[in-house]
Structure 1
């Protein structure tokens, strides 16, 4: 018994040391907000579409409505730099959940199917769709699209609407494009008769590019009037709350409305509250 007791104590001591090594030395992993503050950079996913979140060809800077908002929020959170990672629109939430980016900010509509896989901030602003045609086009509304070929950008709500019109027999065919630039260019070069896309992008692009002989059909009643917000991973509560706190301040200070007006939007696009 005397021999067994020391041996037993030795085993228990060794076991307690192993337990201590396996738990005592483990630190809780830093959350996304803490990591961004430590690195001094917040990585934002965007499809590089104007006028929301894109790299300006001249200045090479991260520019646009969403870009200016997230950059100001990051600054107020003590994060020195915002870095954009270009991702195809349909893959934005995939890249987010694969932890290749910290947040998505690219005029993304808040939709139930997206909320199932990501967590959205409070609403940044709202906007709707537009019907874009060439300046010499006879198309004056959705009713004139019968027998016509319409385009839409992959992964967007606007493409879903165009495909809905096709199923209803109101459109002959729907062509899918990877970017907003390709979509507008195809209308401009007669490859398609019209496109359905977001109004803000259309207004900004047509103003900026004189080679685009396009117009927004008017009057036109938008099928969608979507709420725009940023997306974070489901477990990034700290980042979500921090962004929402700063967003509320920016709204009260008039910063958000000022940015919207800078890019051709107005009070109708502004959302004062959370939803």
Structure 2
């Protein structure tokens, strides 16, 4: 009983400490809003429909350090996402969610890589920390180290230092790169909100469908839903009034 009380006390103290750190490092929600001048987005080399910026670095894969580069994924789709820092609060929920469902991406010839400005040693320490203690536990996706910040800057997610002792270095950027190395989609979240695995999976499926069938996917499209022929888009687009006639027939 005494050991249980001590354990509960430690847990409560940890929660208080985390809350205090959140307060002093984040302040109000406005503290998350980063001025454009402090954000590398305006310098980004990542452009939709253009080749994704090359990257290479050391990653933790299956508990080991390995060199990894973008070209390793040639012939496959890649979900490449950035998160602010290891040992933080929202980040593990995202990383674990993608890791636990990576088999769904692999089933459609897609891989997932996570990246932050932490070192590979910090990545490994986080992985080796049990989930109940704020760690990641076993990972099924690589964690890439961007210690020089160059990858983050190339992809426009790097946040310039504003002089704080504890500072988040990246926004939550997610990039879908196709099997030819072309950047197809960019998602950029403010720091407090995590990303959706379901939506990312849906987007990959939609892009792959258009690649294969040459049709376009309307809003909210899911596998099995109706699509629109490129022929209709091209020809109806030349005659705006035809859209009304077309929908009247439906």
Task: State TM-score, norm by structure 1.
Answer: 0.27
Which structure is larger by alpha-carbon Rg, 1 or 2? Answer: 1
TM-score by length of 2: 0.29
